[in-house]
Each structure stands twice: as structure tokens, then as C-alpha cells.
């Protein structure tokens, strides 16, 4: 493995647990420990613990913070209160996607953006380029903060064993600063798996002890350390987009089916382009599909219908939960109706598939 890769504070711990390491967005990250399938099943049935310290954290503070963030994201942060988080795309002027991110609101004058690892520098530069005229300070704290994600139906029971804070009081997409196992952390009821769970932000020097503590108290519940392989199969089954697959600087939030996170009642970068796209109708969109013929679809495979190329697969797997070959694809809108037959080109052979909902798995969030 490339020695120039960035390492999270848990790198040595991953090696101790037998992780298979890969290059992900310039970081040496665990793709799996025991197996992707077993880690996936642990999260669906009990709990899994992920190191997501490669994600970026950017603090925005100052008296114009709320105005500025509402200008750079498509969702409307006026709809959330202090200690609440919000998901949103962030767009270029042409409507395509800079990134999709979470906004954590501490107050009208202080926010944290949690951004994708592959986009940290790009996002920071984009924010910096657009902050002229706003009374704000921007700080990239990504290298100072570790992030763990505890996900699964047993996540609350496990985490409760480390704190006196009543986790029943923490609603979905809310957060608080609480003491976990003697360490001050920021905890949010968020995740990327389709299950209930928590994301834990803490100082780098406490990451290893927190990892070990959560795995120890979770042992009786069947917790497993989980890698990025299971994180991808879990988010995919739940119909959640991955930047670089279902979203990119070539794909708009509307094409990705994220129209509910685009608020046209306010001004934001990309609004005019997206409004025009909505008015004119989408020429292409992200759809789900299920294979009829036997073959596993993979990212980048071509999609055909009626003898013409209509798009490409953005994500595809043999679903560990559903035991079916399923995928998501960006295709021409005229073929996007549920039930339409399409062909996925697998090893130069056209294999039949049917367009389906992207929500392959019913999400189990605690609302």
C-alpha cells in the first residue's frame, strides 16, 4: 500500500483487528475485517462500528453564518433549530453537485459542515471562493477530529452503557455534546446505513480508547467492527446516494431524485439552473433496478433499451439483505418508469433487468 496515504488515528487499531486496508480518497481505510457480508448482517441485526474519521469537518461562524450557508446549500436551514442537523446538496451555478453534506447548527452564528472525504479541499475552497461580502470565519478542522459511526438496531443499547445521558431524548437528526466513557464528544442521531444509530465526533487522541470501549460494551450484543465495504452495501440498499456515483459535478440533485432537499423559495447557488431543469423536465434520472437475468451489475456498466445506450450503472451489488442482484443507474427519463425493461451490459452481454424503486430496503430510523 502507498506509504503516502493519509491515516486516521485508528490505523494501527484496524491492523490489530485484521482489517484489509485500501486507498479510499487518499486515506488508508479498512474495507473489511471479517467479511463484508458478516459486517453488513451485524449492522442489520445488531450493530457495527465504523471509523469514518476520513470525513471532513468545516466550521463556519460569524454573524452572517446562517445567511451564507443558506446561499451555498440547496436545502433551507431556516427550518432547523439549534442542536439539529440537516442533509443538503451543495451546487455549482450550473446546478450540478459540489458535494452532499450534513449541516450541524450550534446557533445562528455557528455551524459545522460534515463533508465527504474526497471533497474536503474542494469544498473548503468553494466555500472560501463564495464567502466575499459575508461576515464569517471558515476553519477546516478535519485533521483535529475523529468520527466513529455506531449503527444498527442495538446501537442505542450499546452506547447507553457508556453514558448517563438518556439517549431516548435524542431525536433523529439531532445532536448534543455529551460525556461518553469520560470523554466529551459531540453525538448525533444520524448515519448512512438505513438503520438507527449515532455518529460520534471526538478529539483524535481519544479515538482509539473510544473504539475499544464501544466494541467491549457491545460484545454481548454481537457488535462487529465494520469497514467501508459494508458501509457501501448498507447505504445502497437504503437508497442513499454516494458522491461520485449517484451525485457528481455532472449530476444535479434533481436528477438524483433529491428534489425534496432543494428549496426554490430562497436564493442559492445553482437555483436558476435547477429551476430551469425542473420547468423543462428531467432528461435523465437515477433509478433503481432489479436483474432478471443472472448477473451482478457494477458501477460504470452501460445500460441499453430498444437497442440504444440510455445510461450507465452508478452502483450495483448482490444485495446481502435481499439476496437479489440490484442496482441504481442514471438513465434517459423516457425509460425510467417502474416496471420498464432495460438491459445491463455485463461482460459484453445484454442482461435483462426491470426498473424499480431505489428504496430497496425499508429504513429503520428512530423518528
Residues at the binding site for substrate are 199
Question: What's the longest Cα–Cα distance across the chain?
Answer: 62
Residues 44 and 195: beta-carbon distance below 8 Å: yes
From 260, 298, 242, 224, select the one nearest 55 (Cα to Cα): 242
Number of H helices, E strands in the chain: 8, 20
Tell me which long-range contacts 1-7 makes (C-beta under 8 A, separation of at least 24): 1/28, 6/54
Dihedral sign (CA 234, 111, 183, 17)? positive
- 74, 83, 178, 314 from 159: Cα distances, Å: 33, 19, 12, 34
Q: How is residue 277 written as a grid cell?
A: 431543469
- Closest-CA residue to 54 (of 31, 74, 70): 31
- Residue set of the binding site: 199
Q: How far apart are alpha carbons 43 and 58 in whole angstroms?
A: 28
Distance separating alpha carbons of residues 309 and 289, to the nearest angstrom? 16
Classify each residue of 62-71 as buried b or exposed e, where b means 16 or more C-beta atoms within 10 Å of its C-beta.
bebbbbbbbb
CB atoms within 10 A of CB 337: 9
Q: Dump the DSSP string for 314-347.
A: EEEEE-TTT-SEEEEEEEEGGG-STT-EEEEEET
Q: For residue 205, give the DSSP letter.
A: G
DSSP-derived secondary structure for 283-314: SEEEEEEEESSS----TT-EEEETTEEEEEEE
Contact 349, 297 (CB under 8 A): no
Q: How many CA atoms lie within 13 A of 183 on its CB side?
A: 22
Amino acid at each position: 500500500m502507498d506509504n503516502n496515504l493519509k491515516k486516521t488515528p485508528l490505523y494501527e487499531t484496524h491492523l490489530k483487528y485484521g482489517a484489509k486496508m485500501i486507498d479510499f480518497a487518499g486515506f488508508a481505510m479498512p474495507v473489511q475485517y471479517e467479511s463484508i457480508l458478516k459486517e453488513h448482517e451485524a449492522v442489520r441485526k445488531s450493530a457495527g462500528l465504523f471509523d469514518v474519521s476520513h470525513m471532513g469537518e468545516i466550521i463556519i461562524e460569524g454573524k452572517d453564518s446562517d445567511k451564507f450557508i443558506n446561499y451555498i446549500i440547496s436545502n433551507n436551514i431556516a427550518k432547523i433549530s439549534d442542536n439539529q442537523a440537516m442533509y443538503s446538496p451543495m451546487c455549482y451555478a450550473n446546478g450540478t453537485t459540489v458535494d452532499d453534506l450534513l449541516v450541524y447548527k450550534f446557533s445562528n452564528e455557528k455551524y459545522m459542515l460534515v463533508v465527504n472525504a474526497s471533497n474536503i479541499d474542494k469544498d473548503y475552497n468553494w466555500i472560501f471562493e463564495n464567502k466575499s461580502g459575508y461576515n464569517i470565519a471558515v476553519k477546516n478542522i478535519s485533521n483535529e477530529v475523529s468520527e466513529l459511526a455506531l449503527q444498527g438496531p442495538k446501537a442505542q443499547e450499546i452506547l447507553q452503557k457508556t453514558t448517563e445521558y438518556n439517549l431516548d431524548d435524542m431525536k433523529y437528526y439531532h445532536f448534543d455534546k455529551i460525556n461518553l466513557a469520560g470523554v466529551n464528544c459531540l453525538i448525533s442521531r444520524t448515519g448512512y446505513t438505513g438503520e438507527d444509530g449515532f455518529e460520534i465526533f471526538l478529539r483524535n487522541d481519544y479515538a482509539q480508547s473510544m473504539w475499544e470501549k464501544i466494541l467491549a460494551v457491545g460484545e454481548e450484543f454481537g457488535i462487529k467492527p465494520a469497514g467501508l465495504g459494508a458501509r457501501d452495501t448498507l447505504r445502497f440498499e437504503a437508497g442513499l446516494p454516494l458522491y461520485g456515483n449517484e451525485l457528481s459535478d455532472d449530476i444535479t440533485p434533481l436528477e438524483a431524485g433529491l428534489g425534496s432537499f432543494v428549496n426554490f423559495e430562497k436564493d442559492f447557488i445553482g437555483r436558476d439552473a435547477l429551476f430551469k431543469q425542473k420547468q423543462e423536465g428531467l432528461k435523465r434520472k437515477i433509478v433503481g433496478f432489479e436483474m432478471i437475468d443472472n448477473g451482478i451489475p457494477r458501477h460504470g456498466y452501460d445500460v441499453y433499451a430498444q437497442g440504444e445506450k440510455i445510461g450507465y450503472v452508478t452502483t450495483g451489488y448482490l444485495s446481502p439483505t435481499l439476496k437479489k442482484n440490484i442496482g441504481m443507474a442514471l438513465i434517459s427519463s423516457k425509460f425510467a418508469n417502474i416496471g420498464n425493461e432495460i438491459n445491463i451490459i455485463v461482460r459484453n452481454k445484454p442482461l435483462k433487468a426491470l426498473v424499480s424503486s431505489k428504496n430497496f430496503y425499508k429504513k429503520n430510523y428512530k423518528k
